[in-house]
Amino acid sequence: MDKAAAAQGQSVDWEVLESAAVAAMKNAYAPYSKFAVGAAALTTDGRIVSGCNVENASYGLTLCAECALVGNLHMTGGGLLRAFYCVDADGTVLMPCGRCRQLLYEFRAPDMELMTTQGIRTMDQVLPDAFGPQHLEETR
């Protein structure tokens, strides 16, 4: 069994992901809202990737922690996300916003799970009937 298949079949160490999310949150740049966010995810090949929010005076340009996490995913070799955890400055679990759920959906493994305010849920539970790359048709 290859490393990716082994990681998909393994249980998720949610405490490790929580610690990684908290560590990421401590790097957040949130001078305007003062709402620091950190996110961490386990990839199917066993890596942990993380990200933090980065605000901008033009709020619409602010990057959510999930955006930074996906950038980190690609900067460190790509792959798919197996499990996800997001926290605020108090360590309280946060749900990704709709935009970020869509972003995570595109980079999910088929069995991706998320820690939510209601416990562990699948991506299909937090973004039912999602639109994704599989719905696009080649037009050339």
Give how far Cα 106 sits from Cα of 4, 14, 81, 97, 134, Å.
18, 22, 9, 15, 10
DSSP alpha helix (H) spans, the chain:
3-9, 14-25, 65-75, 98-106, 123-126
Cα 13 to Cα 36: distance, rounded to the nearest angstrom: 23
**Single-letter residue type at 90:** D
Q: Can 66 be counted among the known catalytic residues?
A: yes
The separation between CA 44 and the C-alpha centre of its own chain, rounded to angstroms, equals 13
Catalytic residue among 15, 18, 55, 66: 66
Q: How far apart are CA 56 and CA 33, in angstroms?
A: 10
> Which residues are the active-site residues?
66
